[in-house]
Structure 1
């Protein structure tokens, strides 16, 4: 008998599908056992009623990754009860490429296969999770969830007797490659301490809306803590013995503070006097005098149907993130025993910590490291709250910072591999990995090449770079086809290409049709391509790439405006505002591409330091390129450090516990700005490399 991939049926058309699987096996006293397991999207495992801390690695449908887990501590002599719950997202997003709904597992006891997935495995559609379309957190993350505690039975516990809803699984004709996880499994911490910071009653505006909209639009009526609990001290900590809120009328709400930004599994333990529906919202701030649960079509909320009595629940399939949780329930009594997130950090190995002499610098560095950790799970993530997506540009900055504070090169290597596997037929990379989308960002494919060069510098892993050479060649081939007779890249303006450089006016790619036509010849993409070609020449040892770089470097002279003393971002002859677009990012990239004379470089450094605002400034993350350009003159280090203190220090003064996506914080992007973004951890890099003068650590 062979181990096969299985599911409820051979063709399961439903999206957001949850399935339960049961099997058993025998073990002698003192036996050793391991579980190998992989799922189409995600899985959760219980052995003899105890949950196994594990989760599915991010992978591709044709190249699956399995976990090998030591389950010896949970074994009992004799019969062992193995329960597995699997979730299939069922549609592509920025964090998942659609594949079959499927599960594969083997249990090895003392070196022999004792249980395996196959047609003898019992299964059923989960009666507790609501399968099928539900609210989506964001288009990037896809589905939230709805869970019914009233439909939950004891199927995970030994002694459970299956009923008529169980049947034998179907073996699937699915044969992907299967390999072991390339990085360590995530840890799981106890739920974070949480404190009641607001409570009262509410009136719903429209109970037929999606969950996040219901919470966002409800009319809240604040009641003092002592009026609802009898306690005088605020904030009150949520504790296992329970904190009971009582109101004179139904519809109670509560907001808890976990003290800082966190990313983990929603964990709740709540007692109610009758069956009712609990709305749970999660967010990073209280700028709306509540948790912001709805932004446009985004729904930062989930639904748990509680049964009368005590309800303990953890959602193991999707990390949520934020500092605050909010609950609303149509009851006059609500007892909170636990309401928090159980963080799931990646088990990094810190490098020896070096102290910075300035207290503010040290605080910025510490919060930057915290930001990095919040954006590292199965791969690098841009932000844990809104997207959890692996972007090439974002992750390059995360890697560069991480090399100076964490040991080992396994994590960056695995993320680079995921990005490489997402190469499209035209040579560009998918916008994220593992993903399947209808747009991509050409500049991010060039950032991937620079990230591979960084990885080589910090790890010396030449074998991996050799594996990446064909991927990088295909990326560069796409750009080389676009060079005209003047040595200029002419970008196509076509569906599926997002010509994004950074989140500043004229650089974000969200332009009108007339302006889009004016962005085909762009200095940022030309300079990035020069840098990528030079990196490719260094990594491959082939001078042809350097020849191409020289042609494009010479072409950058066309962008120089002697009257303005700066490089235009775009070459355009029309009267749009982009005809006179001068940005700090443009000047920085041209300098880093080695395209200007020492005299011009000196003048550009002066312009970028000037407070008169002649150049469009860089945003948080893209200050990386500005600082690198300024530090081509080492005497400007005090200016760079002072700028870091002003910009990142301002976030700290506003209460930041992690660093934001942009300086506008939560109000950016039509109120969807992230307050934890991995790319904003770049102070770590500059403190380590330029202040502490740490040489490139070899991992």
Structure 2
């Protein structure tokens, strides 16, 4: 890869190098290019004449790595990416390298199964150390890159016959601490018996020749302790309990009993901030009476961390070799215990002790609140010194704020902040518990949550870029990217959700409005053109998307998504409207006119073909040109938001949404913010606020996160093309007349699809909106009548904008704080417009 790099610099604590010219080679070991569940230890020992004045290690891997230098853990990565668009991390080593012997050690991992982090490539490691030596920035430089001189050893501790967890979360970890040296990463460790690394020819992989620097900051790692011990007990060992690798199934089958034969001493010590004095032991085989053998009983402890966290479970224990600690985790309890088999996913791992004192931390992070540990010991007790979790969080400051006279809305804001945090690592995830995938569609709502919570942070731009990289070649983006493609088992065709793509497209202009980033529009525009071309090839004679391929899905709601679906076409309409504005900003006037004409044709078709005069709503779908009779909240909300409903239709549609008609298919939390937004736009702020309160109060009374559905253990189906026996016209327009509306299915309890409501609280209730893109001027349109008091802050690129009001009887006061050099307008309900200056100002708006 030839050349040399610019001198290493350091900014904000992160080592960076503006121009890495790679001299290193990709390396690997073994005959398999893409083995299943494969860990590889990689090392390079080297000498330095003096401690370097500056040093940086540029490193990337497929799929994951953990980095140690001179025995010190420095971090993990890389960010999720496709090898064709590989990115690398830069670690500042100036504080850990020393004169004399040094050691770079990497724990490399390749999934070899479905994952949400990479796209089914081959394994490899690329690393390049660059130093400025002899203690001087202009001293001699040293470059050490991966090549055949690096030493490698396949790990033996992880049992490779374990099974995938499901949901693209990786593989069950069954780790035998007796199998690998504990000090392998230390400089003094003798690796002379290890093999030499194999250089991978460029032709053997998909890696790009010049990887890009990491796009998002390194995530934060911090220790969290359990908040309380929820319970202790024991389980009777069943067949193969100590030899199975199917840990989730084992822990799901075992029957929990009160402590009788096993021993647990001082369990409450596990919540202490310092080391615990917690002893566990299985005091069995146990004789009940004189001669009745009653089996082996293993003690269990159930811990509550007080809140859902994304974290690597960690514990320090002391015991005899061969003793076992099994663990399972969950964001909820069912019947007072964790359900290891939930949401089509398997939750459970195993650690097998070596002799003595030792610390274990899982390789893959989990999303959980509750942690169960089961101890399978021999006659020697296991002493537990500590149990904790190494949390894994995106490093952003919470700048957004909302509080009001309504307790439910306050809890809703908090839940939006918490859920946005949980659903963000190096990209946005629909849910960290079930799959960690970077979805389009409802996953795009995380953009709104991030803007409201943090402002414009790099993970938002990264989210959009990943989607543009995941094109299928025909203009349609993948439904998530990167990640292993889901394929039809019969045909091998990649599964797609076309509806997701047009929902994602709606975020592009929205992001521009809040950032003013015209370069971003220029980057996204070709992808939008490709998507618009795909839509054109799948449109009928009315210009509407019809009988789409792939998985037909828009929301977990009892709606009709067959044929030409209203909601899907409304989102396409929104995309075309936005493309007309984007083309205008980019100076492409003729293209702007073209997109506007296409949008108007779709708007006219939706207006003319879907209207139900008798009920005063737009119906969900047309099959062979005939309305099916089903109508939904989401479809009709979009009818208001996108100008499909005319002046006579608007009050009827809004009135139907307001009435909560039982035949109108309800939006789930994932898409409900469109319904509330539509009512705000129609001037029905009090109704919107009431509906938000009524829908979310049951959830928020027991949860500080936002769920995937209104139910924890039931799923609502919709009517799609696979239901051949459903008539074209649904009797009475009622979903349940043809399909059972609910079926048992666990739902995720932290899902980014619902966080758009936090954005709505700031932009609609407080009324903070940009006057021009990027907040070159702002408009404040507070909904003064909907609450007695509200206050909050929207973070923007110009600084934080704060609004508060309070009313007592007929007396209303309002305060606004604008950043330096930002001017704005206050639009009052009566129609008056008041000019706002930078700084703090208070007004009597009675």
Task: Return the TM-score normalized by structure 2.
Answer: 0.76
Q: Distance in 1 between matches of 2:215 and 2:269?
A: 46
Q: Are 1:228 and 2:264 an aligned pair?
A: yes
Counterpart-to-counterpart distance in 2, 1:24 and 1:289: 51
Indicate the structure (1 or 2) with the bigger Cα radius of gyration.
2
Counterpart of 2:673?
624
Indicate the residue corresponding to 2:372 in structure 1. Answer: 326
Q: Deviations over 1:569-592 (max 9, x none)?
A: 1113799xx922111111112222
Give 1:517-536 correspondences, 5 Å limit. 519-536=562-579
Provide, for residues 431-475 of structure 1, a one-character-per-residue CA deviation record: whole Å limited to 9, x for no partner: 111123321111111122211111111111111211211111111
Contact 1:53 1:187 in 2 (8 A): no
Q: Does 1:482 align with 2:545?
A: no
Q: Aligned in 2, Cα 1:224/1:404: closer, same or farther, shift over 3 Å?
A: farther
Counterpart-to-counterpart distance in 2, 1:666 and 1:335 = 38
Q: Residues 356-505 of structure 1 correspond to what in structure 2 (within 5 A)?
A: 356-435=404-483, 436-437=485-486, 438-492=494-548, 494=549, 497-505=550-558
Secondary structure class of the residue paired with 2:395:
coil
Is the counterpart of residue 6 in structure 1 residue 53 in structure 2?
A: no
CA gap of 1:114–1:235, structure 2 versus 1, over 3 A, is closer
Between the aligned partners of 2:151 and 2:269, the Cα distance in structure 1 is: 50
Show the counterpart of 1:547. Answer: 597
Q: Name the CA shift for 1:618/1:60 in 2 (closer, same or farther; >3 Å).
A: same
Give the direction of change, closer, same or farther, for the CA distance of 1:224–1:330 in structure 2 (3 Å limit).
closer
Residue number in structure 2 paired with 1:514:
none
Residue number in structure 2 paired with 1:516 = none
Question: Greater RCO between the two (CA within 8 Å, min separation 6)?
Answer: 1
**In the alignment, does 2:196 pair up with 1:167?**
yes
User: For residues 747 and 245 of structure 2, what CA distance do their matches in structure 1 show?
Assistant: 23
Q: For residues 235 and 600 of structure 1, what CA distance do their matches in structure 2 show? A: 62
Checking the alignment, whether the CA contact within 8 Å between 1:7 and 1:170 is kept in structure 2 is yes
Query: How many Å separate the matches in 2 of 1:642 and 1:335?
Result: 54
2:270 and 2:387 in contact (8 A); partners too: no
The 3 A distance-change label for structure 1 pair 532 and 66 is same
Q: Is the 8 A contact 1:430 1:440 kept in 2?
A: yes
Structure 2 residue matching 1:658: 3-state secondary structure: coil
Post-superposition offset of 1:92: 4.3
Task: Tell me what 1:651 maps to.
Answer: 699
Judge which range, 279-288 or 36-45, deviates more.
Answer: 279-288
Counterpart of 1:108? Answer: 130
Q: Which moved more, 1:183-192 or 1:141-150?
A: 141-150
DSSP-derived class of the 1:241 partner: coil
Equivalent of residue 66 in structure 1, options 81, 84, 88: 88
Which whole-Å CA distance do the structure 1 matches of 2:110 and 2:460 have between them? Answer: 27
Alignment-derived partner of residue 90 in structure 1 = 112
Local SS of the residue matching 1:390: coil
Which of 204, 229, 233 is equivalent to 1:200?
233
C-alpha distance in structure 2 between counterparts of 1:114 and 1:486, whole Å = 63
User: Secondary structure at the residue paired with 2:385?
Assistant: strand
Stretches of structure 1 lacking an aligned partner (at least 5 in a row): 510-518
Using the TM superposition, name which of 470-479 and 589-598 deviates more.
589-598
Structure 1's 64 and 222: CA in aligned 2 closer, same or farther, altered over 3 A?
A: same
Q: Partner of 2:396 in structure 1?
A: 348
Structure 1 residue 93 displacement after superposition:
3.5
Question: 2:165 matched to which residue of 1?
Answer: 137
Q: Distance in 2 between matches of 1:664 and 1:428?
A: 32
Instruction: Pick closer, same or farther for the CA change 1:487–1:418 going to 2, 3 Å.
Output: closer
- SS in structure 2 at match of 1:251: strand
The structure 2 residue matched to 1:566, chosen from 617, 629, 639, is 617
Range moving further from structure 2, 418-427 or 566-575: 566-575
SS in 1 for 2:409: helix
Distance 1:357 1:506, change over 3 A: closer
**Cα distance 1:297–1:409, how it changes in 2: closer, same or farther (>3 A)?**
closer
Cα gap change, 1:227 to 1:150, in 2 (>3 Å): closer
Deviation at 1:182, TM superposition (A): 1.2
Whole-Å Cα distance in 2 between the matches of residues 299 and 230 of structure 1?
30
Instruction: Assess if the C-alpha contact under 8 Å between 1:238 and 1:337 holds in 2.
Output: no
1:547 Cα deviation (Å)?
A: 0.8
Seen in structure 2, the aligned counterparts of structure 1 residues 393 and 581 have a Cα distance that, compared at 3 Å, is same
Residue 146 of structure 1 corresponds to which residue in structure 2? Answer: 174
Structure 2 SS opposite 1:312? strand
Once residues 16 and 26 of structure 1 are traced to their aligned partners in structure 2, the CA distance between those partners, rounded to angstroms, is: 33
Given that 2:402 and 2:761 are in contact with CA atoms closer than 8 Å, whether structure 1 keeps it comes out as no
Indicate the structure with greater helix content. 1
1:136 to 1:57, Cα distance in 2 relative to 1, 3 A: same
Q: Which residue of 2 aligns with 1:513?
A: none
Name 2:311's counterpart in structure 1.
264
Which residue pairs with 1:686 in the alignment?
760
SS of the aligned residue for 2:404 comes to coil
Map Cα deviations across residues 616-650 of structure 1 (whole Å, 9 max, x no partner).
1111111011112111222x212222222233332
Structure 2 alignment gaps of length 5 or more: 3-22, 285-296, 487-493, 585-591, 716-742, 776-795, 798-846
So what's the TM-score if we normalise by structure 1?
0.92
Report the CA distance shift for 1:72/1:531 in structure 2 as closer, same or farther (over 3 A).
same
Stretch deviating more after TM superposition (462-471 or 241-250):
241-250
2:67 maps to 1:45: yes
Change (3 A) 1:407 1:296: closer
Q: Mean Cα displacement is larger for which, 280-289 or 187-196? A: 187-196
Say if 2:738 is the partner of 1:664.
no
Matched, 1:248 2:278: no
Offset at 1:409? 4.0
1:180 paired to 2:213: yes
Q: Matches of 2:236 and 2:495 in 1, distance apart?
A: 41
TM-superposed CA distance for 1:141, in Å, is: 2.3
C-alpha distance in 1, partners of 2:404/2:569?
A: 37
Instruction: Name the counterpart of 1:25.
Output: 46
Q: CA deviation at 1:264?
A: 1.7
Answer yes or no: is the 8 Å Cα contact 2:225–2:273 preserved in 1: no
Over 3 Å counting, the alpha-carbon distance change for 1:558 and 1:205 in structure 2 is farther
Distance 2:670 2:610 in 1: 24
Contact in 1 for aligned 2:34/2:122 (Cα 8 Å): no
